[in-house]
Amino acid sequence: MKPRIGVIALQGGVSEHLQMLHNIGCATVAVRSLQDLDGIDGLIIPGGESTVLIKLLLRWQLITPIKELAGSGIPVWGTCAGSILLSSEITEKSHKVNQPSLELAAVRAERNSFGRQSASFQEELTIKGLDSPFPGIFIRAPLLYPLSSEAEVLCSVDEGAVFIRCGNVWLSSFHPELTDDARIHRMFIKEIVIGSQPGH
Ligand code: GLN
């Protein structure tokens, strides 16, 4: 059976994730309401604007259901703004910001760490689990600071960590969906297939 992956579709880079998931043989659901979460095997929270996304998640009452899904072991992956929303602490210019989050990963996300929009950049990344560099696209990206030993850093750049996993919760501050390299999406799906095997 094809894994069924939901992509939160309230704002931001939704279609690119859906397309990439489709290309690698997944069934996809654009999640806009509670019912759309039914029966999904994995969930992606895309990039966009975290301040807007959190308001929309609150408005559509998706916070608790997403926390429950993650709590039940369903893999959840946030890219860029999505990674900010999964973090337990959000800061900007080293100050704590008054912005609610899903608090699913023991990580501090430092918003807009790399400067202004014009400072968006691309860098070849060395990622744990991949045997050759991955094209990392950063757009007003956060830096991710692990806050516990549960938070495993899968990739860092000179400034700090940009890809962390905390068990079934994945955070990447870059945008794999904007490349034509599907290896990280495949890694995520592999995780789902392994996790659903009997006895796991
Ligand atoms: N800077 C944005 C935020 O804080 C994230 C940008 C992105 O998702 N590309 O939400």
* pLDDT for residue 117 is more than 70: no
Task: Report the separation in Å between the CA atom of 135 and the middle of ligand 1, taken as the mean of its atom positions.
Answer: 18
| Site of tokens 């490349």 | 179
- pLDDT score at 79: 98
* 152 annotated active-site: no
* pLDDT for residue 115 is more than 80: no
* pLDDT for residue 199 is more than 70: no
* pLDDT for residue 118 is more than 60: no
Q: Which of 26, 166, 177, 185 is catalytic?
A: 177
CA of residue 7 relative to chain centroid, distance: 10
- pLDDT score at 45: 98
Q: Which of 16, 110, 175, 185 is catalytic?
A: 175
Residues 6+ positions from 119 with CB-CB distance below 8 Å: none
- pLDDT score at 151: 98
**Residue among 8, 10, 49 to mutate when testing ligand 1 (max atoms within 8 A of CB):** 49
| 81 CA: nearest ligand 1 atom | 8
Residues with C-beta less than 6 Å from any ligand 1 atom: 47-50, 80-81, 84, 111-112, 139-140
| 12 CA: nearest ligand 1 atom | 8
User: Measuring CA to CA, how many Å separate 176 from each of 18, 59, 95, 163, 186?
Assistant: 12, 28, 28, 11, 11
- pLDDT score at 200: 66
Mean pLDDT for all residues in the chain: 95
Q: Using CA atoms, how far apart are residues 57 and 71, in angstroms rounded to an integer?
A: 17
What's the pLDDT tens digit per position in 99-108?
A: 999 999 999 9
* 16 annotated active-site: no
* 177 annotated active-site: yes
Task: Report the separation in Å between the CA atom of 5 and the middle of ligand 1, taken as the mean of its atom positions.
Answer: 22
Alpha-carbon torsion (9, 14, 15, 21), positive or negative:
negative
Strands 42-45 and 160-166: unpaired
- pLDDT score at 114: 87
| 13 CA: nearest ligand 1 atom | 8
Q: Which domains does the chain have, with CATH numbers?
A: 4-195 (3.40.50.880)
Which pTM value belongs to this model?
0.96
What's the pLDDT tens digit per position in 49-83?
A: 999 999 999 999 999 999 999 999 999 999 999 99
> Which of 111-120, 171-180, 189-198 has the highest average model confidence (pLDDT)?
171-180
Residues 6+ positions from 108 with CB-CB distance below 8 Å: 87, 88, 89, 90, 91, 144, 145, 147
Helix axes 63-71, 50-59, angle to 10 degrees: 100
* pLDDT for residue 138 is more than 70: yes
- Residue with the smallest CA separation from ligand 1 atom 1 is 140
**Residue among 84, 90, 98 to mutate when testing ligand 1 (max atoms within 8 A of CB):** 84
| 175 CA: nearest ligand 1 atom | 9
Which of 85-99, 104-118, 135-149, 154-168 comes out lowest in average pLDDT? 104-118
- pLDDT score at 47: 97
